[in-house]
Structure 1
Amino acid sequence: MRRSAAPSQQGNAAKKMRFVPPGTRGFPPCPSPDTPEHCTLPLQPKPTLTNAVNTTPVNRRPRESQVSGALARVLSVVPVSEKTTDTPSEEEENTHTHMKDEEHQAPQSRPISIQTCPTERYLSVMWCKASNRKHKRWEGDAVLVAKGRSVVLKDMEGKDIGRGSGYKASELENLAEGETLMVSGKQIEVMGVISAEDYAKGRCFQEVSTATSTVPLLESAVARSAAKPFSRPSLKGGVAKSKEPEREIRPRHDPNAQGALVMPRPPANHQWLWNKSGLPLVDVVMDPHLTVRLRPHQREGVIFLYECIMGMRLSGRCGAILADEMGLGKTLQCVSLLWMLLRQGPYGGKPAITRALVVAPGSLVKNWGAEFNKWLGRERLRVYMVDQDHRVEEYVSSPVCPVMVVSYEMVLRSLSSLQKLDFGLLICDEGHRLKNTSIKTTSALHTLSCTRRIILTGTPVQNDLQEFYSIVEFVNPGVLGSSAGYRKIYEEPIIHSRQPSCTQEERALGEERAAELSRLTGVFTLRRTQEIIGRYLPGRVEWTLFCRPTPLQSSLYAQLLSTQAVRSCLRGSTTHLSTNSPHFACISALKKLCNHPGLLYNTMKKDSTEGSVCEGLSAELFPAAYSSGTFGTDESGKLLVLCDLLAAVQHYNPTDRVVLVSNYTQTLDLLQDLCVHLGYTCCRLDGNTPVSKRQNLVDSFNKPSSDHFLFLLSSKAGGVGLNLVGASHLVLYDIDWNPANDMQAMARVWRDGQRKTVHIYRLLTTGTIEERIYQRQVCKQGLSGAVVDLGKGADHISFSSEDLRDLFTFETKTTCLTHQLLGCRCAGDGEIQCLPEEETTLAERACQLGRRADSVNIPQRVSMSELMQWRHYSGDNQSYGDVYLDHAHSHITYAFQSMSTETQLSR
């Protein structure tokens, strides 16, 4: 091996030190051939990232807090007289290398703790194509992993770009700074050593510093003095004009008042970067008008958002993700933050921003305007809401409106006009819409010249970790590196570590990368659950009801599973799911049958050609009344339960109202016909409801004087951002692949403003595909939330043959397949069985059980372990302790019940 020639000055990448140990330029000398396999670890600190090109070797012992446990034990046995001071003499510096050689040749001179040499080494290197040229053309930085006699070369995105084997073990152990090596036709030059910790956490691949401060903190606040103003010299014999006293700048509100909410003062490094004109530091205080209305968790949220967008939590970054669950007041926290920043700032009292842009779904634009008016009133702040009558182009002529609210669709239409405006803050409501960096909406918002960005979402991880990367990249671009690097460094190791067949090394690496990802994003991500707000709301009772299928449903289900279309689906090994695939058609047909056989009949009448999912089904299987378009309520198990529930609610509490949620427009049509047939008054909100009428429809239903008993809601169109506190009962008629959609829909009635105990009912057909979907939700398995927005096509979703066989089965003799899967031995009488942890281990079923890759930091609503703590009721029980449900018990095979703490205490 030899040192490479210096790189040329023109056309070549400049050499730069990436990882240099702070006290040495090389590595410790290798052991002599007589040295046994175990040796003492080198007395040198961990390598750190530095920009220095040359460092002077210094025999300086590192602090014990910075060394590993093994090294600390070595230092502990060294006599005190032999431990040198932190400041060596010049003679000691010059003889550093010679002393180390002597120490190595005479180990008996001091007691040594024997440790095992590491099996892997990690080196920071530069690489280029193999060439005999004197001046190398270096391609870039890389990381070399040496283990035994083989090496792996990884680029700075974690991708393998070279492998080699057959090297001498001593050659790899002695690689030092400046030495070269050939790997897969590439020549590398060692630049420094990387610690095992930095490699395990992926820090060696990070091009961008993620520390919260890049400028050393000073002991006191730093304020650069402003230039002295011009002073007119006094005339001869005259009197100089006296200097006017400077006006004292005070906070807008009293920071010492009782209950005042005062924002943290910027640290010294922030003042150095952002207060170059030397303005006085002023406290930023929340308006008392809003302070008294904020709950404790909302106060914490405002402070968190303030620190993030002001760049106080992550140096050079001004983005935040507020990932609170539904009902915690994300809108109020943003309204409070906006009002404060539009009026105040930490430097000189000047406002931190002058304009703000709020982007929301079209159905929530008016809701945002109503929230501003509710908390601030029109006299304090005027909001410009973009709609058909108020265009973006007209906003320039409305200087009295510092806040604009616009829909995602209107952003695309008026992008050129928005790009001309200067916004100080951008807020994206329901920000999980930006889960793909390649869609037009995300690309359009990226073009806006606004670095302060906030994403509001109750479900930051819906599908996979790549979607989480997209929203992180939007608020703080570059903090996680490139998309390809993120996939190699974080996503793939985390996913591999959660596979049953992973090795111990893969599991450990995945856990380290997951912890590092959590650390990086936790600085600017705030997540709170509904448990916080539960203390402020009335009780909540949540039921999961397993409804007995009718004889007609059972016969049609078995007939449908035997069709040619379903058999063809089971032949494939791996299937990509899309709206055009036969697998999607088969799954949709089974879900329609679970809702009501009439929905399947309509599908069969429209398409029963060869190759369709309904091929082989005959109209003779349906009652004769179906030919006239008349469907019976007694032909669906879920519909029978629903009818009994509605009748009980109206009988026992005539003033109570019900929200009925479905994912399908055809199901809502059937339910609306049911309301007309039974004489129930209702209103409906779905995708066909004009955006301009949606909020008025919600407000009308929430009024105490409303004459509507039912609110029919499509979870796709209106399940997000709507408060339906006028109802105290909610029925989720069918289940969605994505648990986030169900969670959002069920949270519509348990919100601020609710005055009654809330009853939530989720209906599932026993033994069918609906139970399989529910199991995947509570098990947090890959399929629980994998199928997102199927109507838009999800070509990245795939099912194995084992998954499909499990989906396309029908258990006719079970009362609850999910309860059997739990392995619970309760009597089904409603008593909670507190089993030991080892007894709650779930049965082995590869296609249903396991942990999701995206469940690292974002837990779902309920897990299997939590489901064991719910109350279990078998269908044989005559009483469930619920006056409404007791009326429908004859059509229920099993039931799970969960209650909030307040409800349990009241009972």
Structure 2
Amino acid sequence: MRRSGAPSQLQGNMTKRMRFVPPGAQRLPPGRSPTTPENSPLPLQPKPTLTNKVSTVQMPVSGRVCESRVSGALARVLSVVPVSEKTTDTSSEGEENTHTHVTDEESVENTLPPQPQARQSQPISTSPTERYFSVMWCKASNRKHKRWEGDAVLVARGRSVVLKDMEGKDISRGSGYKVLELESLAEGETLKVSGKEIEVMGVISVEDYATGRCFQEVSTVTSAVPALEATVARATAKAFSRPSLKGGVTKPREVQREIQPRHNPNAPGALVMPRPPANHQWLWNKGGLQVVDVVMDSHLTNHLRPHQREGVIFLYECIMGMRLSGRCGAILADEMGLGKTLQCVSLLWMLLRQGPYGGKPAITSALVVAPGSLVKNWGAEFNKWLGRERLRVYMVDQDHRVEDYVASPVCPVMVVSYEMVLRTASLLQKLDFGLLICDEGHRLKNTHIKTTSALHTLSCSRRIILTGTPVQNDLQEYYSIVEFVNPGVLGSAAAYRKIYEEPIIRSRQPTCTQEERSLGEERATELSRLTGVFTLRRTQEIIGQYLPGRVEWTLFCRPTPLQTSLYTHLLSTRAVRACLNASVPHLGTHSPHLACISALKKLCNHPGLLYNTMKESTEGSVCEGLSAELFPEAYSSGRFSTDESGKLLVLCDLLAAIQHFNSTDKVVLVSNYTQTLDVLQDVCAHLGYTCCRLDGSTPVAKRQSLVESFNKPSSAHFLFLLSSKAGGVGLNLVGASHLVLYDIDWNPANDIQAMARVWRDGQRKTVHIYRLLTTGTIEERIYQRQVCKQGLSGAVVDLGKGADHISFSSEELRDLFTFEPKTTCLTHHLLGCHCAGDGAIPSLPEEETTVGGRACQLGRRADSVSAPQRVSMSELMQCGHYSGDKQSYGDAYLDHAHSHITYAFQSMSINMQHST
């Protein structure tokens, strides 16, 4: 027995199974609509003439009235709908009483939506290979009254079935069924599956299963178009009537004054927000207040570019709950330099002053959470666009505490760092913020960290995440930031993992089947559809037309003889051999594999870094097999030479050329390691270059002033040494027009953010970016992984930010610990490109070939340099290729350093390509 009132997911509550169901019982009789009571009499109908075919009915006009009652009774008994009166008699050609009629009842029936089929109708039609059913399940028992446990999805294939719960988890399997038994499954029928009993509720289409919609318990409106187009009629209480005064005279009722928008919506260039639809008014305007246009202040509108105007409208619709019913969160995932801060400042100023109902402000206060180095930057942005006289901003620092703000919250906007949120979470919970903005929101990529938990406790449903990299490591982290802005929109974490993450991951594996690939693509499309309603992503191509040109170079630097010798010895040490022979489940902080990788990366930067590690090494460390005899004698005195690092030689030549050709240009030098910055700072001091430095040891209070001082044209500093970990995000270093990324990170997002520091609003010169790699080493392998990760464009990536989340297979690890000292560019070789290396953009191969052998970072591996392999790296095939033996790169700075470069890739911004 079914549970009382248990609705079917497909067709609503089913009626009791009938003993006899004639053909065509699923259609309604003419004249009976879905809302007509079952016992009400039918309108008069003509009596049909039954023939050997039910589809042929003749209607004599003269017998229309007298036969109608018989026809209606016959239809009620047999549940047969009289077939359309729009017929043509073909049994007797030329007969005079042959007519074609279209009655009013038929026209009404043709306009009705399809009606649910009767319970015992035709078996559910499904695909010939797999069929999907919506079912209820319970533990198998002989009890008359079943205790249904819940809803589930049944997947039938051949003679086996799989039962999945609403989170996509397999809860039971069964096999050995008769093929006919599974093919004839119909609604209302029962089936036993491994100790569980199920009852079929309805059919699930192949599309709904492929996209995962069948697992969504609550359907969400994923369009900005309102669900209710007509004006919602609401019953209102009778207005209060004042008792009459003496003589029966009443005071006339005051006419309500019409509220005008705060700014003129008809002004030229006015930015007017969309009006709330009818369903939004029903939910949010309970008092029936007048709907007023929300117009952006012209003081800000004049500074907004077209993509920023669109961004403000998008954020307004999300925050006001117009794009997703009942949810008020948004993710602004624009790339760096598109003005995410300005868009949020404009939105805040607008919501603090006006709203759509009665002209009242939509919010009264807001909280902005940012990295510690960007707190003052946010305050400077508010002052830049609004001025101190329009809006007061409270920035939490050493002199301004959260306790003081809680005691007297006079400022409508507070800016605080993530670290301070952890310390003062209990105080912030006492405040009622109308809007929460999290800058660099990818910090909330883990739902279990304390920062995310502290922000979740704040009583604020309107939330915005700003991030240039919405997907950094994997889809589980993407789920965390989506869950933060719109809780529950993707279901539970377990359901998300089973329904979306695991199928997408399997579809990206080289060994996946065609069925797994198709399912993964469908689930990825559905995930993009669900989250695309409140996620806005624009690339730097939009802002490229407003900025000067940008030339980006990837330079492969020849290792010096000392680096080549040390690299070979390091790979033969006992620690590296043990790493290759051991299983590699995960690379943690104290993993020996990580120590080996770090030692190789230090050697690529400069042998002096490896020498310092060797002196501090203990028994069993990675440098145990190295001796001081491998290093020059000068190392014992602590003196290092610039001639011992291939990348350092290229850097010195670049700096000399930049200062020689344009003495007013400045350079930003970025590294991931403070030890490397120490070496670079010593080199700059030795060569006489003035520089300033920002790393993790720089006080937060001094960072913004350091940036502003460097950006001034009168600054005496030629170089800005920057740690990508401390200042790689949010900083505007537009005072420099050259940027050198000295070493490479596992996560391409970190490198992209660091390289975007100089190509931003305010830049007036053509930007030159140089990324340095040591040819044939682990750096080139990491770069190959970066290119593949970027090419997936939002798919699952397997390497994370920092080393704590790195994991490899044994085959991938062997590729990392290989060295190709004779190659000019292993990456170009793996492309299978046969260009002349003269800077021309090569053509993409028509078809990629698959060659046997173990996988490498690019998907395939060449066992030797003489066996070229083609890999899928179309991004690099769109760059200019320059061989190291070419005397000219078309770049005056690189031409001065070409003797130490083995190969180079060049890419340019769109406006630069048009100008050239």
Corresponding letter in the other structure for 1:721:
G
Share of identical aligned residues, percent?
81
User: CA separation in 1, counterparts of 2:823 and 2:56?
Assistant: 74
User: CA separation in 2, counterparts of 1:472 and 1:30?
Assistant: 51
Match of 1:868, SS state, is helix
Corresponding letter in the other structure for 1:379:
E
Corresponding letter in the other structure for 1:787:
L
- Structure 1 pair 287–212 and aligned structure 2 pair: CA distance change class (3 A): same
User: CA separation in 1, counterparts of 2:20 and 2:829?
Assistant: 61
Corresponding letter in the other structure for 1:255:
P
Task: Report what 1:595 is aligned to.
Answer: 605
In the alignment, structure 1 residue 685 sits paired with structure 2 residue 662: no
Matches within 5 A, 1:45-444: 94=76, 118-212=128-222, 217-222=227-232, 224=234, 227=237, 230-237=240-247, 239-444=249-454
Q: Deviations over 1:214-235 (max 9, x none)?
A: 9984444447576565443232
2:844–2:874 Cα contact (<8 Å) kept = no
How far the C-alpha of 1:444 sits from its partner, in A, is 1.1
1:128–1:138 Cα contact (<8 Å) kept = yes
Task: Report what 1:808 is aligned to.
Answer: 817
Task: Report what 1:61 is aligned to.
Answer: none
User: CA separation in 2, counterparts of 1:670 and 1:508?
Assistant: 51
1:685–1:713 Cα contact (<8 Å) kept = yes
Corresponding letter in the other structure for 1:17:
P
How far the C-alpha of 1:241 sits from its partner, in A, is 2.2
Task: Report what 1:69 is aligned to.
Answer: none
User: CA separation in 2, counterparts of 1:672 and 1:812?
Assistant: 29
User: CA separation in 1, counterparts of 2:831 and 2:415?
Assistant: 47
User: CA separation in 1, counterparts of 2:139 and 2:800?
Assistant: 44
Matches within 5 A, 1:592-631: 592-607=602-617, 609-631=618-640
Corresponding letter in the other structure for 1:153:
L
Corresponding letter in the other structure for 1:731:
V
Corresponding letter in the other structure for 1:333:
Q
In the alignment, structure 1 residue 697 sits paired with structure 2 residue 706: yes
Task: Report what 2:67 is aligned to.
Answer: none
How far the C-alpha of 1:137 sits from its partner, in A, is 2.6
In the alignment, structure 1 residue 717 sits paired with structure 2 residue 761: no
- Structure 1 pair 166–677 and aligned structure 2 pair: CA distance change class (3 A): same
User: CA separation in 2, counterparts of 1:466 and 1:406?
Assistant: 27
- Structure 1 pair 286–432 and aligned structure 2 pair: CA distance change class (3 A): same
2:557–2:903 Cα contact (<8 Å) kept = yes
User: CA separation in 2, counterparts of 1:391 and 1:669?
Assistant: 35
Task: Report what 2:96 is aligned to.
Answer: none
How far the C-alpha of 1:25 sits from its partner, in A, is 6.2
Match of 1:884, SS state, is helix
Task: Report what 2:102 is aligned to.
Answer: none
Corresponding letter in the other structure for 1:888:
A
How does the TM-score come out when normalised to structure 2? Answer: 0.86
Corresponding letter in the other structure for 1:512:
E
In the alignment, structure 1 residue 647 sits paired with structure 2 residue 656: yes
Match of 1:819, SS state, is helix
Corresponding letter in the other structure for 1:268:
A
Task: Report what 2:9 is aligned to.
Answer: 19
Q: Deviations over 1:704-755 (max 9, x none)?
A: 1111100000000100000000000000000000000000000000000000
Correspondence for 2:900 among 885, 891, 894: 891
User: CA separation in 1, counterparts of 2:741 and 2:376?
Assistant: 26
- Structure 1 pair 157–563 and aligned structure 2 pair: CA distance change class (3 A): same
Match of 2:892, SS state, is coil
User: CA separation in 2, counterparts of 1:637 and 1:155?
Assistant: 58
User: CA separation in 2, counterparts of 1:703 and 1:80?
Assistant: 90
Task: Report what 2:799 is aligned to.
Answer: 787
More displaced stretch, 618-627 vs 234-243 = 234-243
Match of 1:294, SS state, is coil
In the alignment, structure 1 residue 767 sits paired with structure 2 residue 779: no
Task: Report what 2:556 is aligned to.
Answer: 546
Task: Report what 1:868 is aligned to.
Answer: 877
How far the C-alpha of 1:401 sits from its partner, in A, is 0.7
User: CA separation in 1, counterparts of 2:82 and 2:532?
Assistant: 43
- Structure 1 pair 646–122 and aligned structure 2 pair: CA distance change class (3 A): same
More displaced stretch, 140-149 vs 625-634 = 140-149
Matches within 5 A, 1:466-485: 466-485=476-495
How far the C-alpha of 1:126 sits from its partner, in A, is 1.6
Matches within 5 A, 1:668-683: 668-683=677-692
1:328–1:533 Cα contact (<8 Å) kept = yes
User: CA separation in 1, counterparts of 2:20 and 2:324?
Assistant: 41
2:600–2:778 Cα contact (<8 Å) kept = yes
Correspondence for 1:900 among 884, 889, 909: 909
Match of 1:885, SS state, is helix
User: CA separation in 1, counterparts of 2:222 and 2:126?
Assistant: 36
2:222–2:530 Cα contact (<8 Å) kept = no
How does the TM-score come out when normalised to structure 1? Answer: 0.87
1:768–1:809 Cα contact (<8 Å) kept = yes
List runs of 5+ in structure 2 lacking aligned partners. Answer: 29-33, 40-53, 59-70, 84-90, 92-124, 861-870
Match of 1:153, SS state, is strand
How far the C-alpha of 1:194 sits from its partner, in A, is 1.6
Match of 2:693, SS state, is strand
Corresponding letter in the other structure for 1:211:
V
More displaced stretch, 383-392 vs 619-628 = 383-392
User: CA separation in 2, counterparts of 1:125 and 1:834?
Assistant: 53
RMSD (Å), alpha carbons: 3.3
How far the C-alpha of 1:641 sits from its partner, in A, is 0.4
Task: Report what 1:745 is aligned to.
Answer: 754
User: CA separation in 2, counterparts of 1:784 and 1:121?
Assistant: 29
1:322–1:525 Cα contact (<8 Å) kept = yes
How far the C-alpha of 1:119 sits from its partner, in A, is 3.1
User: CA separation in 2, counterparts of 1:610 and 1:148?
Assistant: 61
More displaced stretch, 332-341 vs 831-840 = 831-840
How far the C-alpha of 1:200 sits from its partner, in A, is 1.2
How far the C-alpha of 1:482 sits from its partner, in A, is 0.6
2:474–2:796 Cα contact (<8 Å) kept = no
User: CA separation in 1, counterparts of 2:353 and 2:245?
Assistant: 44
Aligned length: 833
Q: Deviations over 1:560-599 (max 9, x none)?
A: 0000011011112433101201100000000000000000
User: CA separation in 2, counterparts of 1:222 and 1:289?
Assistant: 36
User: CA separation in 2, counterparts of 1:272 and 1:803?
Assistant: 57
Q: Max radius of gyration: which structure?
A: 2
Corresponding letter in the other structure for 2:356:
P
Q: Deviations over 1:489-542 (max 9, x none)?
A: 011111111222222211111111111111101111100000000000000010
- Structure 1 pair 722–380 and aligned structure 2 pair: CA distance change class (3 A): same
How far the C-alpha of 1:763 sits from its partner, in A, is 0.2
More displaced stretch, 242-251 vs 226-235 = 226-235
- Structure 1 pair 605–180 and aligned structure 2 pair: CA distance change class (3 A): same
Q: Deviations over 1:226-256 (max 9, x none)?
A: 6565443232326432333322200000001
In the alignment, structure 1 residue 531 sits paired with structure 2 residue 541: yes
How far the C-alpha of 1:30 sits from its partner, in A, is 14
- Structure 1 pair 682–191 and aligned structure 2 pair: CA distance change class (3 A): same
Correspondence for 1:821 among 823, 830, 836: 830
Corresponding letter in the other structure for 2:763:
Q
